Structure 1
């Protein structure tokens, strides 16, 4: 589906976004508000982890992750973030609005934020979320992208009910549901990982930096028919790498692709076509993994996390993703991880749920995406 097809019946984005001329003023809690800055990384880490602990969220962050947050060149902290500071100089609340440069099918604004548990109940969260929604609408309107548009925020299934009620009062509706799954790695003799044989010219290889962008192109193709997914630019793809584990990441190459057939396929995207013409390697399946040591104590076990897994659509049914994931499970187990973990859209269209069940993955907890569609 082309961009013109998706946008032909839409009103202009500036009208649909209904952006306010001015952002609301925040007065609750007697906090002083200003944009977040790189020097706030340590204080913001403490605030976010305190909120995560209070709300029983199954993760914690590190200073490296917070530092990386400020390094992405597309983020505009001066206009798209706020921190609330009390009289003693402590961060007590924060908000961020993030839009992605690669959006080509739906232009999105994601809203993140939270309030320290010691200052809740004073109306800070309500005013802060009103600011986020208003700023998100401004960001969408200013994008100039005549596409379907979305304001979005996330909630764990066991988030405080007051948080979900707040989102719903602002018009957000649960739109998508996600499951976190885990697979026991402690006894691979009792629960063996399958041996996967690839056919034809497909070959499993360890992740290598020179194949990184080819993996990005494979991911953009694999997730083109997944709801809510958008292409990733090269700079988006290489961000959020502080927890990346190359030794747990595997790729499947087609060493002798039918270039003419792929170039003739109308579903082959322009970047892949250019890479094929240049004779660059074709990644057709991938499994990218992370290691979040800070989460081990929270969850009560060590684990390796599959952050990205997929197969190019033209290669589905040939076990490329299964081969990459099986290799990752063995690598995680060899490094002493007790479990393998991943997250999946409950409405995933690629048949991934059946593959995960066959490998012994089980549900641990869920989350939801709440949106306003514009």
Structure 2
């Protein structure tokens, strides 16, 4: 087994790893190339892979965030272990590496800001739950994926008074980002998008579908946003849906979703999906349920708080309360 950072040449091997890892989402070769070239990942310091011949057996991918607010820098560790190599300690080695690497990476991006690591796994993943507990992580949140089929039983479109729906365009992009940032300020674990990260995560991805992304406008001001990626050839995945606080409770999100679902059906998609924090304070789950979505997967979020500047041999971890 050879351990070392990922390189751009690893894209085909990494795509094969993700296909075998059972994460619940498939990644195309183009998806993986985007991951390896993302502006927030330092391949040399922020990735680690175990290679067995021409197969990746385990991987850790630890990008910094685009910004740090709320008193800490929450870094999500992506990765896992190939099913053929589980039970051999590789997952623990990835976590130990991340615990050592996160403070160094965070200090470069946000000097002096406390750092936390987030790992996510299926609600019934006992192996990950045990590993998380053994390394000091605490379960803090449950997220879910919700899906629905198309085109049957589409919700009726009822626009709130004074609201019009516009398809995303480059001229509306700053408004879309502004609404996303303002509407997500009270959402756990989120931070504002910069123009660069918004492009990197949303509009610059090859999966972005501008014709399937919409804004709710009150006059010339956006008050709601819905941004869509394609997930495979048949699924429209709602990456972002948000409403400004002062417009919540007026049916803006429901109208955006109804408009989007009708568009998805016309565009030939067979299903739609989105992710949601089950502890979301805005009542989002109810809105999505009324729009025909049902929960198809639950994921547990585990967080570990780290002391800035600690080294691997000296690391002492404190469980996030």
TM range (shorter): 0.7 to 0.9
Relative distance call for 1:148 and 1:233 in structure 2 (3 A) is: same
Q: Which moved more, 1:42-51 or 1:314-323?
A: 314-323
Work out whether 1:309 is the aligned partner of 2:309: no
Higher share in strand? 2
2-structure distance, mates of 1:360, 1:97: 35
1:238 alignment partner, SS class: helix
1-structure distance, mates of 2:66, 2:238: 24
Which consecutive residues of structure 1, in runs of 5 or more, have no partner in the other structure? 1-30, 256-280, 295-301
Match of 2:194 in 1: 233
Which consecutive residues of structure 2, in runs of 5 or more, have no partner in the other structure? 307-321
**Superposition map of 1:98-117 within 5 A:** 98-105=63-70, 106-117=72-83
Work out whether 1:194 is the aligned partner of 2:126: no
Match of 1:185 among 130, 133, 150: 150
Confirm or deny: 8 A CA contact 2:224 2:253 kept in the other structure.
yes
Match of 1:344 in 2: 276
Confirm or deny: 8 A CA contact 1:284 1:312 kept in the other structure.
yes
Confirm or deny: 8 A CA contact 1:289 1:305 kept in the other structure.
yes
Relative distance call for 1:357 and 1:71 in structure 2 (3 A) is: same
Work out whether 1:214 is the aligned partner of 2:179: no
Shift of 1:344: 0.8
Confirm or deny: 8 A CA contact 2:60 2:80 kept in the other structure.
yes
Q: CA RMSD in A?
A: 1.9
Count of aligned residue pairs for this structure pair: 302
Match of 1:251 in 2: 215
Confirm or deny: 8 A CA contact 1:250 1:328 kept in the other structure.
yes
Q: Which moved more, 1:312-321 or 1:363-372?
A: 312-321
**Superposition map of 1:83-98 within 5 A:** 83-86=49-52, 88-98=53-63
Match of 2:222 in 1: 283
Shift of 1:168: 1.3
Match of 1:81 in 2: 47
Confirm or deny: 8 A CA contact 1:175 1:369 kept in the other structure.
yes
Match of 1:326 in 2: 258
Match of 1:8 in 2: none
Shift of 1:215: 0.4
Confirm or deny: 8 A CA contact 1:37 1:70 kept in the other structure.
yes
Confirm or deny: 8 A CA contact 1:309 1:321 kept in the other structure.
yes
1-structure distance, mates of 2:61, 2:24: 21
Confirm or deny: 8 A CA contact 1:172 1:370 kept in the other structure.
yes
Match of 2:84 in 1: 118
Q: Deviations over 1:205-262 (max 9, x none)?
A: 111122112101110000001111110111111124221222221111222xxxxxxx
Match of 1:162 in 2: 127
2-structure distance, mates of 1:148, 1:222: 25
TM-score normalised by structure 1 residue count: 0.76
Match of 1:266 in 2: none
Larger radius of gyration: 1
